[in-house]
Structure formats: C-alpha cells, structure tokens
Amino acid sequence: MSNRIEKVNSVLQRYISDIINNDINDPRIKGIISVSTVSTTPDLKYAKVFLSIFSTENSKDILEAIKSASGYIRKSLASKIEFRCVPSLDFELDTSAEYSQKINDIINSLKDDDNKN
C-alpha cells in the first residue's frame, strides 16, 4: 500500500469517527463506536470502513443506522476534507476483536486440558 493511500485512510478514519460520534443525531446509534480501519481503493473512489461497536443494543441494527446515514457522512466529509472526489463509503462490522477472543478461549481451554493431564 502506498504512503499516499495510508495517509488518506488515516484522515478518513479520523473524520468519519468524529462525524459518527459527534454529528449524527440518530437515536438508533448508541454506545461506543470506533472506526477501526479504513481501506481505500487506489483510485480513491471507494472506501471500506470497518466499525467496532460496543453497545448493549444489537450491533447489526446500529450498523444499519450508520449505513442509512452514509450519504450524510459523505457530505460532511466533503465539507471537512479537500479531496477532489470523496470516496463512496461501505460500512462493515469489524469482527477481529471477537475472533481474537475466540482464539484466546481456545488456547485457554487447551491449557486447562493440558494441566488436567
């Protein structure tokens, strides 16, 4: 990945997080929402945004609310950054934390089995 794309991803990550957490007034969007990763295509037309959602509510419903606000988020981005073209945003849930917890649980269960034998 080029240095330019990494900088673009970093800028998008910061501003998208700010917009989601401070500018959107949707009651369906609750809890702590973190933009964990942004992956932009080399032509800067599309960006995949991975979100970690820490909430007592259903995270899939919160993701759908954010997806429905993607036009507003993109418009807000256009006013905050000076890109020739603001990328189209595709929001996804970041499941890496859940995956790492699952791996840790498996390792711990193997250790427990080893200690019993």
Would you state the pLDDT for residue 54? 84
Task: Supply φ then ψ for residue 35, to 5 degrees.
Answer: -85, 105
Sign (positive or negative) of CA dihedral 7, 9, 10, 14: positive
Would you state the pLDDT for residue 115? 73
Would you state the pLDDT for residue 88? 95
- Prediction pTM value: 0.80
Would you state the pLDDT for residue 55? 74
Sign (positive or negative) of CA dihedral 94, 57, 32, 67: positive
DSSP assignments along 74-88, one per residue:
HHHHHHHS--SSPPE
Would you state the pLDDT for residue 71? 94
Question: Please, is 32 exposed, middle or buried when counting C-beta atoms within 10 Å of its C-beta (0-12, 13-18, 19+)?
Answer: exposed
DSSP 56: S
Q: Tens-of-pLDDT digits for all 117 residues of the chain?
A: 689 899 999 999 999 999 999 999 888 888 889 999 999 999 999 999 999 988 777 888 999 999 999 999 999 999 999 888 899 999 999 877 677 778 888 888 887 777 776
Could you tell me the residue range of the domain that residue 59 belongs to?
3-116
What's the domain count of the chain? 1
Which CATH number covers residue 98? 3.30.300.20
